[in-house]
């Protein structure tokens, strides 16, 4: 990366910025201690080995579904067209959680689809309708600029006040003097609502993509559709509503207020607020887990019998639902509220990955936590890590400090690569950089191939980036999808291959390229600010 690509502030400005940012570390401490690892118990393995992951249901609900209900999407355009089609077809509920809603033509089309759907529901039912729209965004990101997510949604809220709810989550860590001093855009570094889930009746789209034009055109992400999955749709509806209940509610006059009886996120007592939020979210997780355990008992899914019998042998009777071949586990991470489920499960998956297993891990922002790095470097599985080349980083070419962020990621990548080389792990841990001309890269997640298998049996997909922010600052959600079905395994394998095919292997010569040059001040500042991006 050449220095001419960016406009940098003066050295004095950077000195001030460094002191300012480093002080944030003192003002936003960790709320909970290091998380213990789960221990996966021994269990009966089918040929694909999927059932070794049933330990996850000890902490979260397990949703068994048919693989025929799962569709893996591959492109931003496909994602956008599906969003519009699902909105238009919705009859009962639309639930959308995202970091923000953009303000361009494509985003306006989405809003128009929502308006058309709501209008149609009123005409069909008379003066009232049971159809509800619930939208959850981040307060700071959704309020940035004069035209923003809020102004985009106000017409809907004013026209359909009984049907539309817009909730704006505000991190409890941004408060007091800190909230007054940090300017717009930089205030987003303290903590965000980062969950991305798009739900229409009983259909759920899980993704890392936001509701913005680049995510609909040339910003590569991942997307999975779960069709006709009412239990999963109910869970994410309840989760979004729980977060919405502890969030600021957008009013028709563009003001915000809390639901009566709820503690304010930055004006009220922080500990009380976080305890209340923890209770609301954990009620959703635990009640869903209890419901699913009861369902398992009814369908013999959690019996102690041999899981390796065929579906036909176990479910020959007419009225019994066929045994599922795919399981979905929602993994929630909200460290500000003391909820660390995703961190626990991810660390355990990395720990338990056996010799000969292959882990394909991808992130648009390579900034792994120390715990994840230690597990990757210290365990036995093979890793292929896909990350963004500087040119496809979303901050590439930005002005000011933001324009230096790709260089900071290069520096972090180089440090990790040097550690891999020092440990002699180059053959077991490989880095690959994604590049596609005119595109940016935002895909995140993981595919796990068991030893001796050519297909993955597990994937993680959702909002987390495996970095410090995802673990400690933001609200995150992803799902672990485990499948025994070879057709779905082929879909996941093809998804992984398509992403990795657009990448080049990282080697020592990679960091000798002019585009990988990192200025000294970036190297000095990066350790101080790496926990904020």
Catalytic residues: 194, 196, 201
- What SS3 string covers 137-194? EEHHHHCCCCCCHHHHHHHHHHHCCCCEEEEEECCCCCCHHHHHHCCCCHHHHCCCEC
Rounded distance, CA 206 to CA 49, Å? 24
Alpha-helix residue ranges (DSSP H) falling in 61-147: 76-89, 105-125, 139-142
- Exposed, middle or buried: residue 439 (CB in 10 Å: 0-12, 13-18, 19+)? middle
Secondary-structure percent of the chain, ordered helix, strand, coil, rounded to 5? 45, 20, 35
CA distances from 161 to 11, 134, 200 (A): 51, 11, 19
Q: 354: Cβ–Cβ under 8 A, 6 or more apart, which residues?
A: 380, 381, 450, 451
Q: Are the CB atoms for 6 and 398 separated by under 8 Å?
A: yes
Rounded distance, CA 26 to CA 21, Å? 10
**Look-up: residue for tokens 């009859």?**
91
Rounded distance, CA 463 to CA 281, Å? 17
Q: Are the CB atoms for 465 and 363 separated by under 8 Å?
A: yes
Q: What are phi and psi of 399, to 5 degrees?
A: -90, 155
């Amino acid at each position: 990366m050449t220095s001419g690509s960016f406009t940098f502030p003066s050295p004095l400005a950077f000195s001030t910025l460094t002191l300012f940012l480093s002080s944030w570390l003192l003002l936003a401490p960790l709320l909970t201690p290091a998380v213990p690892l789960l221990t996966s118990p021994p269990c009966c393995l089918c040929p694909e080995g999927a059932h070794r992951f049933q330990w996850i249901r000890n902490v979260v609900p397990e949703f068994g579904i048919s693989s025929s209900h799962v569709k893996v999407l591959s492109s931003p355009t496909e994602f956008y067209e599906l969003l519009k089609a699902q909105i238009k077809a919705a009859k009962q509920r639309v639930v959308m959680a995202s970091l923000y809603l953009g303000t361009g033509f494509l985003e306006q089309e989405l809003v128009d689809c929502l308006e058309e759907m709501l209008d149609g529901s009123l005409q069909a039912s008379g003066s009232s309708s049971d159809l509800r729209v619930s939208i959850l965004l981040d307060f700071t990101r959704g309020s940035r600029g004069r035209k923003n997510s809020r102004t985009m949604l106000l017409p809907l809220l004013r026209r359909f006040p009984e049907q539309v709810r817009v909730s704006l989550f505000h991190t409890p860590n941004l408060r007091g003097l800190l909230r007054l001093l940090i300017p717009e855009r930089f205030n987003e570094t303290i903590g965000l609502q980062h969950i991305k889930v798009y739900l229409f009746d009983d259909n759920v789209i899980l993704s890392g993509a936001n509701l913005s034009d680049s995510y609909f055109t040339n910003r590569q992400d991942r997307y999975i559709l779960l069709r006709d999955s009412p239990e999963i749709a109910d869970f994410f509806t309840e989760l979004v509503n729980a977060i919405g209940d502890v969030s600021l509610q957008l009013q028709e006059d563009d003001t915000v207020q809390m639901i009566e009886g709820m503690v304010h996120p930055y004006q009220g007592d922080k500990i009380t607020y976080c305890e209340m939020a923890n209770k609301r979210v954990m009620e959703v997780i635990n009640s869903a887990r209890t419901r699913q355990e009861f369902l398992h008992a009814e369908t013999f899914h959690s019996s102690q019998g041999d899981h390796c019998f065929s579906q036909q042998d176990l479910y020959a009777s007419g009225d019994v639902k066929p045994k599922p071949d795919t399981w979905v586990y929602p993994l929630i991470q909200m460290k500000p509220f003391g909820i660390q489920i995703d961190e626990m499960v991810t660390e355990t998956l990395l720990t338990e990955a056996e010799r000969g297993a292959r882990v394909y891990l991808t992130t648009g922002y390579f900034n792994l936590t120390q715990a994840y790095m230690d597990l990757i470097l210290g365990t036995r599985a093979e890793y292929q890590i896909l990350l963004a080349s500087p040119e496809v980083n979303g901050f590439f070419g930005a002005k000011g400090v933001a324009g230096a962020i790709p260089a900071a990621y290069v520096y972090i990548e180089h440090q990790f690569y040097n550690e891999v080389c020092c440990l002699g792990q180059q053959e077991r841990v490989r880095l690959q950089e994604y590049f596609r001309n005119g595109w940016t890269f935002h895909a995140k997640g993981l595919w796990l191939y068991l030893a001796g298998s050519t297909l993955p049996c597990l994937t993680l997909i959702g909002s987390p980036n495996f970095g410090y922010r995802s673990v400690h600052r933001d609200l995150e959600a992803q799902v672990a999808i485990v499948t025994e079905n070879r057709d779905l395994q082929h879909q996941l394998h093809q998804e992984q291959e398509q992403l990795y095919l657009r990448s080049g292997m990282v080697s020592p010569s990679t960091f000798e390229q002019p585009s990988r040059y990192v200025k000294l001040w970036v190297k000095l500042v990066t350790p101080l600010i790496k926990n904020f991006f």
